[in-house]
């Protein structure tokens, strides 16, 4: 349960210990919503999106595609935090010059320039809020420059100025797996002369590839490499957005560690490159299986699997389990980057030590998530230490409770809420309104499933 107090400086929301029960359909997937709007703008014709996420970040993407000439029509809202939207695209080469405010949307900042860079004669400036101005853009600027793009930034930080230029294909080895960088280069490759191939050190989420394939683009995959060739236009169509696994993960992890819980999460996206958390928790002692005659013996039951296109979804039933510590390495990070703070929380309740490494990327999120997680959980009574590329947690089986600062980071705000449910004394989250970025209805949904 929650109670709120407000002040002129920060909004604090308190979360008391409580088990979880019932059913919940998490809000639509943020990553897929961003890409549906962007690819819709690139198509010639209408793209109809069912279940587009209603959040500050995803609305920034709709405003961005409108700024370059796409026509956006919003339809009815649904009770799960989404709405129907139709994007009338401008075509692959039809973006109008514009100043684009990305707000706090890092996905938009890093993906959209790939499309804009290959349109000669146009100029676009992408800027955002104070947080976005601390997010580095060199990882897209350097390879785009290698393709012939004209990109300017403020010492590797936004604002970012893109001047459209003729592009040539590139064969690019990514130093760090990143779906955003990969997506940026694939969009640029659609406008470049010759093939564009991106090699990843480990597989990252493939939402962009799936959406481009649905729009008629020939995507070639070879191991951890993806290749595209230039195309004339993209075909518009329909997109159904599943529930966001990263949003569902907060409820899933809460149900694993709060005694007396039993929760079903419905229509959750299960793209295999997004569900790395399931592999991690299985190593922490969680038994998973499908719906069959022995399903009640499983801690997480995956059932009602369907694939309406371009993404699969399923329902997950979760109950508490006794956890053990685990090692989480660089190979796990691309498929679970957003869920690693939750792994730290699970580690507090596990027997033994939980160590996360190879996750220096966490320091480049809305906050330095390594320091934010370590400081926040320490304030609640955890035994956790920061490392350059991760953290180590000594499991004690409990958290005392206290106050945690969201630091303007939506995932830290939700982490604090889940910690409150599992704590002895409850947790107050300051700056809780950061959840508006990705999950405005989080507190409402959490209240609905706490008994």
**pLDDT tens, residue by residue, 66-82:** 999 999 999 999 888 89
- Inform me whether the pLDDT recorded for 156 exceeds 60: yes
What average pLDDT score do residues 3-26 get?
Answer: 76
Residue 367 pLDDT grade (very low, low, confident, very high; cuts 50, 70, 90): confident
CA distances from 41 to 37, 48, 150, 168, 297 (A): 6, 11, 22, 23, 47
Residue 5 pLDDT grade (very low, low, confident, very high; cuts 50, 70, 90): very low
CB atoms within 10 A of CB 322: 14
Q: What is the pLDDT at residue 190?
A: 99
pTM for the full model?
A: 0.90
- Inform me whether the pLDDT recorded for 425 exceeds 50: yes
Q: Which of 162-171, 268-277, 362-371, 427-436 has the lowest mean pLDDT?
A: 362-371
- Inform me whether the pLDDT recorded for 266 exceeds 60: yes
Reading the block at residue 365, the tokens are: 């999120």
Residue 358 pLDDT grade (very low, low, confident, very high; cuts 50, 70, 90): very high
- Inform me whether the pLDDT recorded for 2 exceeds 60: no
- Inform me whether the pLDDT recorded for 389 exceeds 80: yes
Across the chain, mean pLDDT equals: 94
Burial 245-280, CB ≥16 within 10 A → b, else e: bbbbbbbbbbbbbbeebebbbbbbbbbebbbbbbbb
Q: What is the pLDDT at residue 10?
A: 53
Distance of alpha carbon 50 from alpha carbon 308, whole angstroms: 11
With beta carbons less than 8 A apart as the criterion, state whether 203 and 276 touch.
no
Sheet bearing 220-222, strands edge to edge: 171-173, 196-199, 225-228, 220-222
CATH superfamily of the 2-26+243-449 domain? Enolpyruvate transferase domain (3.65.10.10)
Residue 3 pLDDT grade (very low, low, confident, very high; cuts 50, 70, 90): very low
Distance of alpha carbon 100 from alpha carbon 247, whole angstroms: 27
Distance of CA 248 to the CA centre of its chain: 11
Residue entry with tokens 């409820």? 251
What values do phi and psi take at 326, rounded to 5?
A: -150, 160
Q: What is the pLDDT at residue 57?
A: 95
Which residues are annotated as catalytic? 338
**pLDDT tens, residue by residue, 28-55:** 999 999 999 999 999 999 999 999 999 9
Domain 2-26+243-449 identical in fold to domain 30-240: yes
What average pLDDT score do residues 326-348 get?
Answer: 96
Q: What is the pLDDT at residue 4?
A: 38
Domain ranges of the chain: 2-26+243-449, 30-240
For domain 30-240, give its CATH number from 3.30.360.10, 3.65.10.10, 3.30.70.870, 3.40.50.300: 3.65.10.10
What average pLDDT score do residues 346-361 get?
Answer: 97
- Inform me whether the pLDDT recorded for 291 exceeds 80: no
Distance of CA 154 to the CA centre of its chain: 26
Q: What is the pLDDT at residue 296?
A: 54
Distance of alpha carbon 314 from alpha carbon 325, whole angstroms: 27
Q: What is the pLDDT at residue 160?
A: 98
- CA-based nearest residue to 29, from 73, 81, 64: 81
**pLDDT tens, residue by residue, 187-229:** 999 999 999 999 999 889 999 999 999 999 999 999 999 999 9
Distance of alpha carbon 433 from alpha carbon 437, whole angstroms: 9
DSSP string, 140-200: HHHHHHHTT-EEEEETTEEEEEEE----B--EEE-SS--HHHHHHHHHHHTTSBS-EEEE-
DSSP string, 323-339: -B--EE-GGGSTTTGGG
* Residue 26 DSSP one-character state: P
Distance of CA 26 to the CA centre of its chain: 13
Contacts of 282 (CB under 8 A, 6+ apart): 288
Q: What is the pLDDT at residue 294?
A: 54
Distance of CA 386 to the CA centre of its chain: 23
- Inform me whether the pLDDT recorded for 259 exceeds 90: yes
Contacts of 302 (CB under 8 A, 6+ apart): 270, 288, 289, 290, 291, 314, 315, 316
Residue 293 pLDDT grade (very low, low, confident, very high; cuts 50, 70, 90): very low
């Amino acid at each position: 349960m929650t109670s709120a107090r407000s002040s002129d400086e920060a909004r604090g929301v308190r979360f008391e210990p409580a088990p979880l029960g019932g059913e919940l359909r998490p809000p639509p997937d943020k990553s897929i919503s961003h890409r549906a709007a962007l690819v819709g703008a690139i198509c010639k014709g209408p793209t109809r999106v069912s279940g587009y996420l209603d959040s500050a970040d995803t609305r920034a993407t709709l405003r961005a595609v409108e700024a370059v000439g796409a026509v956006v029509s919003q339809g009815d809202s649904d009770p799960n935090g989404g709405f129907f939207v139709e994007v009338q695209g401008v075509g692959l080469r039809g973006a109008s010059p514009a100043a684009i405010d990305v707000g706090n949307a890092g996905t938009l900042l890093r993906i959209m320039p790939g499309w804009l860079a290959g349109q000669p004669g146009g100029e676009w400036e992408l800027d955002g809020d104070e947080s976005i101005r601390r997010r580095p853009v060199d990882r897209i600027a350097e390879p785009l420059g290698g393709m012939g793009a004209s990109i300017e930034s403020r010492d590797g930080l936004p604002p970012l100025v893109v001047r459209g230029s003729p592009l040539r294909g590139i064969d690019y080895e990514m130093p760090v797996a990143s779906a955003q960088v990969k997506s940026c280069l694939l969009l640029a490759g659609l406008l470049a002369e010759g093939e564009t191939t991106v090699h990843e050190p480990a597989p990252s989420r493939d939402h962009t590839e799936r959406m481009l394939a649905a729009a008629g683009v020939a995507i070639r995959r070879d191991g951890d490499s993806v290749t595209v060739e230039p195309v004339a236009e993209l075909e518009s169509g329909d997109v159904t957005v599943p529930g966001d696994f990263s949003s569902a993960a907060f409820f899933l992890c809460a149900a694993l560690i709060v005694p007396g819980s039993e929760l079903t999460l419905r229509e959750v996206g299960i793209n295999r490159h997004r569900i790395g958390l399931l592999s991690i928790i299985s190593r922490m002692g969680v038994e998973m299986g499908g719906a069959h005659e022995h399903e009640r013996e499983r801690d997480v039951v995956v059932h009602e699997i369907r694939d309406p296109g371009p993404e699969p979804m399923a329902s997950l039933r979760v109950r508490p389990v006794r956890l053990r510590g685990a090692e989480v390495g660089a190979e796990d990070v691309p498929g679970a980057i957003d869920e690693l703070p939750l792994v730290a929380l699970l580690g507090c309740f596990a027997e033994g030590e939980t160590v996360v490494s190879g996750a220096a990327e966490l320091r480049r999120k809305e906050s330095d998530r390594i320091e934010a997680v370590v400081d926040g959980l320490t304030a609640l009574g955890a035994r956790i230490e920061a490392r350059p590329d991760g953290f180590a947690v000594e499991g004690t089986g409990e958290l005392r409770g206290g106050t945690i600062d969201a630091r303007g980071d939506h995932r830290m705000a939700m982490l604090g809420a889940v910690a409150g449910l599992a704590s002895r004394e409850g947790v107050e989250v300051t700056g809780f309104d950061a959840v508006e970025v990705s999950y405005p209805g989080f507190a409402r949904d959490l209240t609905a499933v706490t008994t």
